[in-house]
């Protein structure tokens, strides 16, 4: 069975408010435009529903994935926290970079609690403090790390990114192209997260999209940063004369984006929509945790081609919204993700393995009889061809060339 009702689902969730500052922040970044919301009638016919729409995140702020929305907002808020005051007013990324340059590297010892203990580093020497730049650090399966590295480059900072063992060369090279120091863990994604947590000190700021005890604020800001997508979607549906989706399919890794999705479609003033969380069969950590009734860690490592979803532990900060706000969990195989990539390519949508999971999930919902003829289905395609070689092998042709970012 690929479609699993959420045993923890409940009505009447309390959804935290989202500040309009997030959208205003993103609008000031170079190259900001809303990503397309595409109506795909051929896919609606295949699924037997009234409408299928895809929020196409193949190109967001110069990167081939949506992750930069969360990474940019969290980085901004983290740097404001370090400054002890707002950066406002500012009008461009160049203006913001000048303000960030005014930050002095602090002294003393900085500690980050991890689920494996407490890690810290001795205070740097006064001489080092006078010259050492701030560094942004993250663990990643690809897209989040590249987004953090991009923000570091834009703001005149350095970056260190840790990837799990087995990460394909294309993703490593893409992160390195942003000027990051990229290293490879001997273990999986959870191992990389723990290793990066231990890097935190007075000159290294960890920008993680998953949380652990004592580290919740930055991942909460990342979830908040994704709200821009849903503000755009609401405007785009209104412009199209559509009342919006009745079903939303969201790919799930640690659950940060799923938490943002629940936040968008569980508000009392919103039209009710069924939220389907889509995970790889071998990395369904959120579903497994819902069945267990608490956050658990999957045994072993995860090796799905849906690299952005290869996570073994849900993010505790995302867990309350995801565990109670998701209606159904859908598990999909790698072959089903490949088939979905080809189906999306046939209608002009470039979607990578993780992004195409949303359509693979919709296919499973249809097969399970969970869709009806009047449904309006929203697919959240979270990435483009982040591994161009694999994309060509799967789809049968290379992805189209995309415009160069001002930062590259």
Active site residues: 67, 141
The secondary element (H helix, E strand) that includes residue 77 is: helix 68-83
Here the tokens at position 377 are 């289905």
What whole-number distance in Å separates Cα of residue 245 and Cα of residue 274? 9
What whole-number distance in Å separates Cα of residue 315 and Cα of residue 332? 21
Q: Give start and end residues of each alpha helix (H) in 84-168.
A: 93-101, 126-131, 143-154
> Angle, nearest 10°, between helix axes 68-83 and 143-154?
50
Residue 281's Cβ-count burial label (10 Å; 0-12, 13-18, 19+) is: middle
Q: How far is CA 127 from CA 35, 108, 109, 130, 131, in A?
A: 46, 13, 16, 5, 7
**Chain position carrying tokens 């549906």:** 237
Q: Are 143 and 383 in contact (CB under 8 A)?
A: yes
Q: Are 278 and 287 in contact (CB under 8 A)?
A: no
Q: What share of the chain is helix, strand, coil (3-state, %, to 5)?
A: 40, 15, 45
Q: Are 287 and 316 in contact (CB under 8 A)?
A: no
The secondary element (H helix, E strand) that includes residue 388 is: helix 388-395
What whole-number distance in Å separates Cα of residue 238 and Cα of residue 140? 35
Kindly provide the b/e burial profile for residues 138-161, where b requires at least 16 CB atoms within 10 angstroms of the residue's own CB: bbbbbbbbbbbbbbbbbbebbbbb
- Alpha-carbon Rg for the chain, nearest whole angstrom, is 20
Q: How far is CA 366 from CA 245, 306, 354, in A?
A: 16, 21, 20
Closest C-alpha among 270, 301, 275, 277 to residue 291: 277
Closest C-alpha among 170, 172, 191 to residue 183: 172
């Amino acid at each position: 069975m690929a479609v699993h009702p959420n045993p923890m689902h409940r009505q009447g969730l309390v959804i935290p408010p989202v500040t309009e500052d997030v959208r205003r922040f993103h609008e000031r970044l170079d190259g900001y435009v809303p990503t397309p919301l595409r109506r795909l009638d051929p896919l609606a016919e295949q699924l037997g529903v009234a409408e299928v729409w895809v929020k196409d995140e193949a190109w967001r702020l110069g990167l081939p994935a949506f992750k930069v929305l969360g990474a940019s907002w969290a980085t901004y808020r983290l740097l404001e926290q370090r400054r002890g005051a707002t950066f406002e007013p500012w009008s461009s990324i160049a203006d913001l970079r000048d303000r960030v340059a005014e930050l002095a590297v602090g002294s003393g010892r900085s500690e980050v609690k991890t689920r494996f203990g407490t890690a810290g580093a001795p205070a740097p020497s006064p001489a080092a403090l006078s010259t050492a730049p701030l560094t942004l650090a993250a663990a990643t399966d690809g897209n989040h790390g590249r987004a953090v590295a991009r923000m570091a480059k834009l703001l005149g900072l350095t970056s260190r990114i840790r990837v799990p063992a087995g990460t394909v060369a294309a993703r490593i090279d893409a992160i390195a192209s942003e000027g990051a120091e990229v290293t490879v863990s001997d273990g999986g994604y959870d191992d990389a997260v723990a290793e990066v947590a231990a890097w935190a000190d007075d000159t290294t700021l960890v920008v993680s999209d998953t949380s652990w005890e004592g580290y919740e604020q930055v991942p909460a800001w990342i979830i908040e940063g994704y709200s821009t997508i849903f503000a755009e979607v609401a405007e785009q549906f209104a412009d199209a004369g559509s009342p919006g989706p009745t079903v939303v399919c969201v790919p799930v890794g640690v659950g940060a984006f799923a938490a943002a999705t629940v936040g968008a479609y569980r508000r009392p003033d919103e039209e009710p929509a069924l939220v389907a969380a889509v995970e790889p069969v071998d990395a369904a950590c959120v579903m497994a945790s819902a069945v267990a009734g608490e956050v658990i860690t999957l045994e072993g490592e995860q090796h799905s081609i849906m690299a952005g979803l290869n996570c073994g532990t849900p993010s505790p900060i995302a867990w309350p919204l995801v565990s109670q706000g998701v209606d159904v969990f859908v598990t999909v195989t790698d072959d089903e993700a490949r088939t979905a990539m080809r189906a999306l390519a046939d209608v002009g949508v470039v979607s990578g393995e993780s992004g195409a999971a949303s359509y693979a999930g919709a296919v499973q919902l249809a097969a399970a009889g969970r869709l009806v003829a009047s449904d309006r289905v929203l697919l959240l395609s979270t990435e483009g061809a982040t591994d161009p070689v694999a994309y060509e092998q799967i789809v049968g042709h290379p992805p189209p060339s995309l415009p160069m970012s001002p930062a590259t």
